[in-house]
Amino acid sequence: MARDATGVNPAPFGGVPYNQLVADLQSQIDIYLASPSSNWENTLGVYQGAPGTNTSAVGIFCSFLYRLKRDYGGDAFVRKIWKEAGLRPDVTTQQGAIDNFFLACCAAANKNLASLFQTWRWPLSASAVTAASKYS
Question: Residue 120 in 3-state DSSP?
Answer: coil
What mean pLDDT value characterizes the chain? Answer: 92
Going by pLDDT thresholds of 50, 70 and 90, the confidence category of residue 136 is: confident
Torsion of CA 27, 7, 57, 113, to 10 degrees: -70
Identity of residue 115: S
Q: What share of the chain is helix, strand, coil (3-state, %, to 5)?
A: 60, 0, 40
Look at residue 41 and tell me whether its pLDDT is greater than 90: yes
Cβ atoms of 70 and 77 within 8 Å: the answer is no
pLDDT, position 2: 63
Going by pLDDT thresholds of 50, 70 and 90, the confidence category of residue 3 is: low
pLDDT, position 74: 93
pLDDT, position 111: 97
A 10 A CB-CB count for 128 gives 21
Give this prediction's pTM: 0.89
Distance CA 89, CA 86 (A): 8
Q: Domain residues of the chain, as ranges?
A: 1-69, 72-136
